[in-house]
Structure 1
Amino acid sequence: MFTFTSCSNSNQDNLKIFPTRSETWVGDPMPYFDGEKFNIFYLEDLRDGDIGFHPWSLFTTKNFYEYEDKGVVIPYSKNTQDQDLALGTGSVVKDNDGLYHAFYTGHNGKKMPKEAVMHATSKDLNEWTKIPEDTFYASSQYEADDFRDPYVIYNEDYNEYWMLVTTRKDKMGVIALYTSNDLKEWKDQGVLLSNDMGSDSNMECPTLIKYGDYWYLSFSDQWPDRVVHYRTAKDSKGPFVIPEQDYFDGNGFYAGRMEKDSENLYMFGWTPTKEMYIDSGKYDWAGNLVVHQLKQKETGELYPVPVEDVVKKFSKGTKLNPLAQTETIEKAKNKYSFSGQDYEVLTFPEISGINKITGKINLSSQNSKFGFMFNVDEENMGDINIVIDSKKNEIQFYNLSTEDIFNKKPQSTMPLEVKEGESLEFTLLIDDSIAVLYVNDEAVLSSRMFSMQDQKWGIFSVDSNIEIEDLKLSK
């Protein structure tokens, strides 16, 4: 067993806020809160060329900055005839006798059907016994090769176990509902939710959870946007309502699953690596674990914020002094005022390790594009950029130079209303090659930047009369 950190060691080298294992990557997370800590099972992307793939591995944490790595807890089969040659997403539930049950996808591309729901049990969440005789396949109304991602809860409202399954019916992505009284025999109860996004996409990695007075159903669209959506309802059977803003993050955050402790609600997902491990590459599958905390409005709508335990841990900020600044930028006390004339920049020393950067951006009448740039060169241009586009009301991530943000498409986007005369309060969390920007408790954008560490970074504006206030960095 490998341990990222011990609770007694406060050295930042032993802390992680966006963890992954050495030389492997985090796929779909399956969080389970046991009353004391979060057990975050996940599909481990080994990328080792083995005939099987994606064992279930496990992180545990009590605070989201110290993680214990338990390694592989449910392995895939080495037998090419077995259904679980590859493991897929599932979930964990505890029965009335204290026994833990894992339900997971068994995938074998050489079999017909390719996918099935499989079962294992454990007394301690670490040692698991597979029960192959409990394996079951899609009911006849569903597409047998798309039958995966079981999510199981005990639904107290109906006094039975519920299982949500990602599948397809009549060439449309659906979330099917199965019920059971004993966690062994499952009855098909039909479709809980059909794709309501205007596409035929599969609705992967569903979650159904009650928080406050509302039920929340979340899922990830497999195409075309690849973001995590959610729906609200007053009853677990629906009807489910689409919120005005129905997703939390861009396509740099996928396969999100909700879980709560005694007080708080969280969303666990992953930020992908990129093809060839270069910044200009396309997003790949699997990466680092990223967790957002979710807050609830009176309307039942949810909004993302940085995990409060992480914010508190890295709370001792120091003022940032730029290495250089454009002559037209004026400094007064804790404020930097950009004139709005052409291209203006503040550049800062090399960034390394875990960082929390906070501040406020005050907006005036003249705004175009402004934001954060990384891996800054000698001409004060960044190779990778997080941009706020006031005309499109978006946060945008560009995996290309600052000079190209007007003539190329961003890799990721997230809606953000930008109003004249208002302020944008931001928290930027950085760990290794992951950067996650939270703005105004309204939006978050997660991104991958391989060339960010040990390089200069900066804040820029293009024809934007903005003011940067209370800029601080915490490590």
Structure 2
Amino acid sequence: MTIALEKKWIWDSWYHKEGDVWHGYFLQADKSLIDPELRHLNVTQAHAISKDLIDWEHLGTCFEPSTSTAWDDSTTWTGSVVKDDDGLYHLFYTGTCLAEKSLYQRVGHAISDDLHNWKRVGDGLCLDIIGENAQYYEDQHQVGHWHDRAMRDPWVMKNPNGKGWLMYFTARAPGIEEPNAGGAIGFATSDDLYHWELQKPVFVGGFGQLEVPQVFELKGRWYCLFCTSSSHWADAFIKARAGKPVTGNHYLVADNPEGPWSLPESEFLDGDDPCYRYAARILQTDTGPVIIGFHDQGPNGFVGEILDPVAVHVNDEGLLSTDDNNKKGQ
């Protein structure tokens, strides 16, 4: 396995390339918890570096929940890292707090000059579901309808169509009767990475949640990779696709990074049940795009290691495929 630790489970990851070095960030939790389901509320972020995405040097824990009472004193979950025009690095992450029993998610912001030691900007909070456009989101926990107030997994990138920055995140839309039809890709914009404005979601439907979004361009088309569970497929998506629901990674397509986005008329990209690879990222390498994600389920249950990268291909219709069938290694 590409990134593995003897005493810790590893799951969601994100990457930043600086020169010829890949910086990999990932969620980790101690295996002394025994039950891997407990990892979500006992989490820190860690950092490793590599030149080939296969052999990694572990640098240890780089970010963790606030040690005093705060909006992010329970968890610091999945995020992304970008570099601004002045050479400063920015980490955007998911935070929850103990006072809300970790049910309300918000987006935080930290900065670094070395890609490892991160300092929160103010108290860290940079985006919440508030303001005029909050009406387009489930801004309160819908108890009995869904398991959390979703606002997590921020993916930040430069706006390729002009100045400023774009943020995509896992969210939910309000007033949808079927829980599994309410998943959304949330959206926000910023001129300077410090002040963010919540915008309307860029996509709603298909699934109860579209986790760990990543927006990127391949061969002139835009893609939004996401992951989801077989138990979170909407009825309409099940009817429109042959075969049983699976857990894994799929994508949206668009001609513009701000949308409109749609689900492709294709098979689910990268899934199985039980799931093999989850929370994947697609990275651009010198030899072409690759997919990399964590090993979810093995013969003995949850594995918690990052898998080796696998080549990704784009056909003439713009549909994606991988070099494996998502069963390799089981």
Q: Which one of 161, 164, 180 corresponds to residue 160 of structure 1?
A: 164
* CA displacement at 1:74 relative to structure 2: 1.0
Letter in 1 for 2:15: P
Contact map agreement 1:28 1:286 (CA 8 A) in 2: no
Q: 1:114 Cα shift?
A: 2.3
Q: What fraction of aligned residue pairs are identical, expressed as a percent?
A: 24
1:36 corresponds in structure 2 to: 20
Q: Residue 246 of structure 1 aligns with which residue?
A: 268
User: Contact 1:152/1:164 (CA < 8 Å) preserved in 2?
Assistant: yes
Larger Rg: 1
Partner of 1:105: 94
CA positional deviation for 1:289: 3.5
8 Å contact kept, 1:265–1:294:
yes
Uncovered stretches (5+) of structure 2, i.e. residues with no partner: 140-148, 177-181, 232-245
- Tell me how far apart the structure 2 counterparts of residues 62 and 25 of structure 1 sit (CA, whole Å): 23
Q: Return the structure number with greater helix share.
A: 2
Residues 1:33 and 1:221: Cα distance change in structure 2 (over 3 Å):
same
2:6 matched to which residue of 1?
22
Alignment of 1:184 with 2:194, yes or no, is: yes
1:299 match: secondary structure: coil
Q: 1:261 aligns with which of 285, 304, 313?
A: 285
Match of 1:153, SS state, is strand
What CA distance in whole angstroms lies between the structure 2 residues aligned with 1:245 and 1:24? 34
Q: What amino acid sits opposite 2:202 in the alignment?
A: L
2:54 is aligned to 65
- Among candidates 244, 249, 273, match of residue 228 of structure 1: 249
Which ranges in structure 1 are unaligned for 5 or more consecutive residues?
A: 1-16, 306-437, 449-475
1:276-291 to structure 2, matched below 5 A, reads 279=299, 281=300, 283-284=301-302, 286-291=304-309
**RMSD of aligned Cα (Å):** 2.4
TM-score by length of structure 1 reads: 0.56
Deviation at 1:215, TM superposition (A): 0.8
| Alpha-carbon separation, structure 2, partners of 1:229 and 1:109 | 32
Residue 245 of structure 1 aligns with an amino acid whose one-letter code is E
Distance 1:263 1:181 in 2: 33
Residues 188, 246 of structure 1: alpha-carbon distance in 2 compared, 3 angstrom cutoff: same
1:108–1:273 distance in 2 versus 1, CA, 3 Å: farther
Aligned residue type for 1:98:
G
Q: Which residue of 2 aligns with 1:147?
A: 151
Secondary structure at 2:116 match in 1: coil
Per-residue deviation, 1:33: 1.8
1:138 is matched with: 129
**Deviations along 1:316-344, whole A, 9 cap, x unmatched?**
xxxxxxxxxxxxxxxxxxxxxxxxxxxxx
Report what 1:218 is aligned to: 225
Q: Which TM-score applies when normalising by structure 2?
A: 0.79
User: Is 2:320 the partner of 1:302?
Assistant: yes
Once the two structures are TM-superposed, the CA of residue 259 in structure 1 deviates from its matched residue by 2.4
Q: Is the 8 A contact 2:17 2:23 kept in 1?
A: yes
For this pair of structures, how many residues does the alignment match?
287
Secondary structure of the structure 1 residue equivalent to 2:309: strand
The one-letter code sitting in structure 2 at the alignment partner of 1:129 is K
